[in-house]
Amino acid sequence: MLMDQNTKTILEFERVLEGLHPMTPFGQKLKNNIRAYEACEKEQLLEELDRVSVLKELINSQRAVFVEIRTQMRLVKDIRRSVERCIAGGVLNVVEFFELKNFVYIAKSISKSQKALHWAVPEKYAVKELQWVEAILDPEGSGIKTFYIYDSYSEALVEIRKRKASCEHKLDVLKKEAVKRAEAELGMPVRASGEITVSKSQANLIKRLNENNMLQLAGETYINVTYRVKPGEEMLELMREMEELKGEEAVEEALVLEKLSGQIAVRGGEILEVMDALAEFDLVIAKAYMANGYNGIKPVICDTERLVIVKGRHPLVEASLRRKGKSFTPISIRLDQGVTLITGANMGGKTVSLKMAGLLAAMAQYGFLVPADYMEMDMNGYIYISAGDEQSIDMGLSTFGAEIRSVKEALMRAEEKGLILIDELARGTNPHEGCALSKAIISYLKNKPCIAVITTHFDGLAGEDIRHLQVKGLRDMDFKSIKDPDAISEYMDYTLIEVEGESKVPKDAINISRLMGVPEEILRQAEEMMEVYHEQS
């Protein structure tokens, strides 16, 4: 498993998946069960990324074809259980055969659209035409999507339906004759159905109709009375014969449905294979559409233990800023085996950089294109992050206790190749112990095969063999030129710059506080205390 649920939640991976929109129930189920490619599945991941990248470009050049494909996909119903039941020996009903026939025609349309693509569709995605099913369900070759139990399915059915049609014709003739006789005798019109409806206010007429032996009461409301012409003996005999014929027809139709189900069952696995191909094709198209939404690129999967992101963008943060009319500052970062330390002010974007690196690494290993200008990474055995206030009420742990429990889980896998991300290590305890513990954890991780990234506001953690990055933040800003304190985030430079040795963590807190209107007396005292602190340290 690449990520546990806690890491998925912190990286907001499932929110990213909300932007993935398969059209078919089969593709949706595949999305719900989506998994990362394992470290041993590098070749399969490379193939998936190639296909998503190709489809992303094809969507732009052959948009009309993809619109037609997805229009057809929207019409697909989930008939997998019906087909599986049929394979197991069950008999499909008329509605199920109708749905199967529709699926066959949809698959046929998508198959033709695939052939129109400027792409050699891989076997995994090839939606094959089910011509043999079409021949079974449309024996007359009409091309009509509705399903009917055709006469050609059974000679016995042909004979039954002929007798039934003859009986219906005789009944119709006798009914018309009876209606004419009733109209002549009563001197009033009778509906073709043989019914007469009169108002209860016509008492004399009702009395006359009640006394007429040709009529029988059919129904009554609080304002009307309805009569029906009585059928004669010949009509009654034909009606009995009709009911018998309907029963015979139902029995023969059931035999036909059983026979057709048997024919489908023999090769039913082929139908399931088409569903599987449709699911895979649907999901890979959805990945390509999603990549178009954030202008994703194909990451390079290498064999060296590093993660390189050039001008990467956190897709969720970028989308949120775009809705506000703002833009996301792209972040470039290179992470190698061992420990990389990121320092900067609390508003400096350390956490965004950390989460972006983890999220893009996860997206790539799930077969998604990534929002960046360039990305290079090795296959990870795991991605783990500890970030935010992880206080656990259920387990009775403090913020620090919950954090250390989480970090311990990551440390237990440090001997494996993977990505460990820790935001503000040991933030939940006093500074002296926190700094000491942080140094010890960094020392432990620096020679492990994993890539570890730790953000901190502690000074003095970056030593030998530790790569140190700082968020540029507000270091080059003329604070006097900022007129609107609420717009401070627009002035923040999230660029990561590499620094050498024990460079101090930038202290933007006082400058930010000054912009936010904190009394100058407090700020001057804070600056004096900072000077004393630096002299002592």
Residue written as token pair 């954090």: 403
The answer to whether the CB of 160 falls within 8 A of the CB of 252 is yes
Residue written as token pair 């619109």: 67
How far apart are the C-alpha atoms of 355 and 373, rounded to whole Å? Answer: 18
Query: Last residue of a domain, which of 245, 266, 291?
Result: 291
Q: Decide: residue 321, CB within 10 A, 0-12 exposed, 13-18 middle, 19+ buried.
A: middle
Residues 340 and 229 both lie in one domain: no
Residue 80 within any structural domain of the chain: yes
pLDDT in tens, the chain (537 residues): 889 998 999 999 999 999 999 999 999 999 999 999 999 999 999 999 999 999 999 999 999 999 999 999 999 999 999 999 999 999 999 999 999 999 999 999 999 999 999 999 999 999 999 999 999 999 988 888 899 999 999 999 999 999 999 999 999 999 999 999 999 999 999 999 999 999 999 999 999 999 899 999 999 999 999 999 999 999 999 999 999 999 999 999 999 999 999 999 999 999 999 999 999 999 999 999 999 999 999 999 999 889 999 999 999 999 988 898 888 889 999 999 999 998 876 665 788 899 999 999 999 999 999 999 999 999 999 999 987 654 343 444 456 676 677 788 888 888 999 999 988 776 666 667 777 888 888 888 888 999 999 888 766 676 667 888 888 766 666 666 666 655 566 666 778 888 875 555 555 677 777 777 788 888 888 878 877 766 665
Q: Where are the beta strands (DSSP E) in 278-410?
A: 300-301, 306-312, 331-336, 338-343, 374-377, 383-386
Output the domain CATH number for residue 75.
1.10.1420.10
Amino acid (1-letter code) at residue 175: K
The answer to whether the CB of 89 falls within 8 A of the CB of 258 is no
Residue 182 within any structural domain of the chain: yes
Residue 535 within any structural domain of the chain: no
Residues 100 and 189 both lie in one domain: no
Tokens of 17: 């998946």
Output the domain CATH number for residue 380.
3.40.50.300
Q: Distances from the Cα of 147 to the Cαs of 128, 137, 250, in angstroms?
A: 21, 7, 16
Residue 409 within any structural domain of the chain: yes
Q: How many residues does the chain have?
A: 537
Residues 367 and 279 both lie in one domain: no
Q: Find the domain containing 401 and state its range.
A: 297-506
Tokens of 424: 């503000």
Residue 241 within any structural domain of the chain: no
Residue 497 within any structural domain of the chain: yes
- DSSP structural state of residue 482: -
How far apart are the C-alpha atoms of 481 and 475, rounded to whole Å? Answer: 14
Q: Percent helix, strand and coil across the chain, each rounded to 5? A: 55, 15, 35
Residues 188 and 326 both lie in one domain: no
Residues 175 and 50 both lie in one domain: no
The answer to whether the CB of 167 falls within 8 A of the CB of 238 is yes
Residues 86 and 176 both lie in one domain: no
Residues 57 and 122 both lie in one domain: yes
Residue 133 within any structural domain of the chain: yes
Contacts of 87 (CB under 8 A, 6+ apart): 265, 268, 269, 272
Among 97, 16, 63, smallest CA distance to 364 is for: 16
Residues 319 and 440 both lie in one domain: yes
Residues 141 and 176 both lie in one domain: no
How far apart are the C-alpha atoms of 266 and 138, rounded to whole Å? Answer: 18
Residues 217 and 360 both lie in one domain: no
Residue 247 within any structural domain of the chain: no
Q: Distances from the Cα of 436 to the Cαs of 404, 440, 460, 470, in angstroms?
A: 14, 6, 10, 21
Residues 278 and 339 both lie in one domain: no
Tokens of 102: 């529709």
Residues 55 and 147 both lie in one domain: yes
Domain tally for the chain? 3
Query: In this structure, is the dihedral angle defined by the CA atoms of residues 149, 153, 156 and 160, taken in order, positive or negative?
Result: positive
